[in-house]
Chain A
């Protein structure tokens, strides 16, 4: 099972999301998303823990979560 990557619409929103989550005490990282036919290129916020809460926080702060991917485990 991978770890959740919350896909957002741009690197700016990914960075903003990371800042907001940090202020809420949730650790996250801005990462390039694995390209898929559906999402194309883009950025997401990788949230190792409390992903559900993180997604809710982002949406409450007007950051659209386009989709949620499972980040592959580190090789």
Chain B
């Protein structure tokens, strides 16, 4: 199989990740943060090391600013639902994933309003103007993607953060597609909340996500309350992160796998990963742009305006049909709306074929994709 669906989840995982997870099941089998015997404390220490690594990677003030979540979606839900009240206004980009839009839609029924800023791919000044126009006196939060999961378009999140703060609002960045690929520093960049998937560019297993807090003293309302292993005498949820947002037993094998995944990214080098993947995407774009039957939707992608994600269509064909043909040829891509209908609405597409390489994708795999796509004619006839 040629796996080119790394925006959904990276595959394969580095060997170190697989080994670390097996080690977790063998050696770190106690519940961390609950007891005082050796294996429990050792497991707590291993979890703490992952927090430290994530804090360092994302420029957080300390490991207490790293909150483990089951996914980036749940991290986003925590920020969105934990910081908004009826009457609040939110600004989002017009590229957001349903992980942002669906919680906001649910909050709309409770009196939270939102405005979509019309982004301009490749023109960050125009994008900034759009955000500036969208922010109002009641804007409490701006939620925006760091990189579109459909079209790869990057947003100038540090500039947007500075703009937010001028207006007294906070910023939450959805880094699902950029964490591990594009460097981001929550302290230097002024990013109040950074939501990451552990299982994409960070090469951890599915079931892991991170919420990185710029200011641990600024609390969010909790979505889940329960056991945290401390202050159990009280029926009130503890105030301090990260445990405040981590009720219940942590996914220790997942967290240890994520630790190894971040280690892999650090070892290879984020810049090298970004450049390597963008080179593959650029090759793909150039090859597809020479095929008359292919529709592309952005200018040639380039650092730093794009992440390595490319969408296309074959004229006259449904994206899912093209995906099926590719799947039969052993090429794995994702088709359809990618849980981001807003992005498709913006670009006028009703679905696309999406290609997303990883650090493990080989050039010959992209060449194989190009050859296969070249053989798919436009129109409705059988392929």
Contacts and interface: CB of A to CB of B under 8 A. Distances in A.
Interface of A: 9-13, 15-16, 30-32, 37-43, 64
Contacts of B33: 10-12, 43
A12 B241 CA distance: 9
Contact of A12 (B36, B63, B231, B234): B63
Interface string B43-72: 011001001000000000011100000000
5 contacts: A11-B229, A12-B63, A13-B240, A16-B63, A37-B233
Contacts, number: 65
A42 B64 contact: no
B232 A12 contact: no
Interface of B: 32-33, 35-36, 41, 44-45, 48, 51, 62-64, 228-234, 238-240, 242-243
Contacts of B45: 15, 30
Given A32-B35, A32-B36, A10 B232 contact: no
Given A11-B243, A41-B233, 7 more contacts: A10-B240, A12-B48, A30-B41, A31-B36, A39-B233, A41-B230, A42-B230
Nearest to B231: A40
Given A16-B62, A16-B63, A31-B36, A9 B240 contact: yes
Nearest to A15: B48
Contact of A41 (B63, B231, B239): B231
Contacts of B231: 9, 39-42
Nearest to B63: A16
Contacts of A30: 41, 44-45
Contacts of B238: 9-10
Contacts of A64: 240
Contacts of B233: 37-41
Given A30-B44, A31-B36, A32-B35, A11 B62 contact: no
A39 B234 CA distance: 9
A43 B62 contact: no
Nearest to A30: B41
Contacts of A9: 230-231, 238-240, 243
Contacts of B230: 9-11, 40-43
Contacts of B63: 12, 15-16
Nearest to B49: A15
A40 to B, nearest CB: 3
Nearest to B45: A15
A42 B229 CA distance: 7
A20 B134 CA distance: 44
Nearest to B243: A10
Nearest to A43: B230
B44 A11 contact: yes
A64 B240 CA distance: 10
A11 B234 contact: no
